[in-house]
Amino acid sequence: MKILIVDDNESIVSMLKKFLTIKGYDCTTSQDGRNALDIMLREKFDVVILDLAMPEFTGYDIINELEKSGKIKEQNIIVLTASAITPDQSDSLQKQGVKSCLKKPVTPDILLKVISSCH
């Protein structure tokens, strides 16, 4: 299973990639929102783990661009954010096509469960 990890925090990207690789996933990473969007439009991933709060081009920007282009339905996006996210914001993201919204820090078991539910 191919996973794209998108987060501007290098240590989070590194930790998630190590953990998910050990669990048998093929991981690609990006620490830049625009770069991540380009990757998502070029390649097919089974799951995208997406941070919302990134500088310049945020996770919200990625979701909005995918929605505008009609490509969001092709993505299994799991939002993983340290930002405060209200139930209304979570509902809105899920209406746009996000599969799940998780708050950092998330336990490994919960993350794996949500990843496996995307299939």
The structural domains of the chain, with segments of one domain joined by +, span 2-117
- Please tell me the predicted confidence (pLDDT) of residue 18: 97
Q: Are 67 and 37 in contact (CB under 8 A)?
A: no
**pTM (whole model) above 0.85:** yes
Fold that domain 2-117 belongs to in CATH: Rossmann fold (3.40.50)
Sheet containing 2-6: order of strands: 26-30, 2-6, 47-50, 77-81, 100-103
57-77 per-position pLDDT tens digit: 999 999 999 999 999 988 999
User: Tell me: the pLDDT tens digits for 89-100?
Assistant: 999 999 999 999
Beta bridge partners of 27: 3
Residues of the chain with pLDDT under 70: none
Per the CB < 8 A criterion, the answer to whether 93 and 48 are in contact is no
Among candidate residues 118, 29, 44, the one with its CA nearest the CA of residue 78:
118
